């Protein structure tokens, strides 16, 4: 990865994410189905910006790396399919029925998006920490306490196939908690 004389790596990652087609597509994806009784439906992009804003404020109070927080928060939902979590469940059912043991999980697909499906297969070339934050931003339960898993920093992130992994940074833990 070539060094940028004006931006540190995590800020460079955030810029690459912001200018990527998958990020721009978030404005066309609703977080939930439209309801005639609720006109306050937010798009996936609005959700991502809300998570980023809240995580920024908390991270600043905790003296965490703001550039890393912003990059993870803005990329955390890039793997979502259309139709929100209902679309994710439908894809998961189809893939499981076809024998794909891992099914479909948007956070794991998000890693595929930033690593392989953007820039004509070249990916965004993001740092490990941001990629880790993307693939570990979900958990099956609400965590009242979340500590980084610093024991797997050399783990091949592509081998993660379930939601049992914790982020390896405090910044990733913060984004995961704010996303709840």
Q: Please indicate, yes or no, if residue 3 is contained in any of the structural domains.
A: no
Number of domains making up the chain: 1
Tokens linked to 110? 């998000």
Question: Which CATH number covers residue 93?
Answer: 1.10.3210.10
The predicted-structure confidence for 107-120, as pLDDT tens digits, reads as follows 999 999 999 999 99
- Domain membership of residue 66 (yes or no) is yes
Establish if 162 belongs to a structural domain. Answer: yes
54 domain-assigned: yes
Range of the domain at 81: 13-32+40-178
pLDDT tens, 98-150?
998 888 989 999 999 999 999 999 999 999 999 999 999 886 555 677 788 87
In a domain, 2, yes or no: no
> Quick check: 31 pLDDT over 70?
no
The Cα-based distances of 37 to 11, 31, 105, 136 in angstroms read 40, 16, 29, 34
Point out which residues pair with 38 in neighbouring strands.
35
22 and 118 Cβ atoms separated by less than 8 Å: yes
| Rounded distance between C-alpha atoms, residue 131 and residue 66, angstroms | 16
Q: Are 137 and 175 contacting, i.e. CB atoms less than 8 angstroms apart?
A: yes
């Amino acid at each position: 990865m070539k060094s940028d004389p004006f931006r540190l790596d995590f800020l460079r990652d955030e810029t690459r994410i912001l200018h990527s087609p998958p990020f721009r597509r978030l404005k066309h994806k609703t977080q939930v189905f439209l309801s005639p009784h609720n006109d306050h439906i937010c798009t996936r992009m609005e959700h991502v910006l809300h998570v980023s804003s809240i995580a920024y404020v908390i991270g600043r109070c905790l003296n965490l790396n703001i550039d890393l927080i912003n990059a993870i928060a803005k990329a955390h939902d890039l793997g979502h399919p259309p139709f929100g979590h209902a679309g994710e469940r439908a894809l998961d059912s189809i893939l499981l029925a076809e024998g794909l043991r891992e099914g479909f999980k948007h956070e794991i697909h998000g890693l595929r998006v930033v690593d392989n499906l953007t820039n004509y297969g070249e990916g965004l070339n993001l740092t490990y920490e941001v990629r880790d934050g993307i693939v570990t931003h979900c958990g099956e339960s609400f965590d009242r306490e979340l500590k980084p898993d610093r024991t797997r920093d050399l783990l091949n992130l592509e081998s993660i196939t379930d939601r049992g992994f914790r982020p390896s940074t405090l910044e990733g833990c913060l984004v995961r908690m704010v996303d709840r």
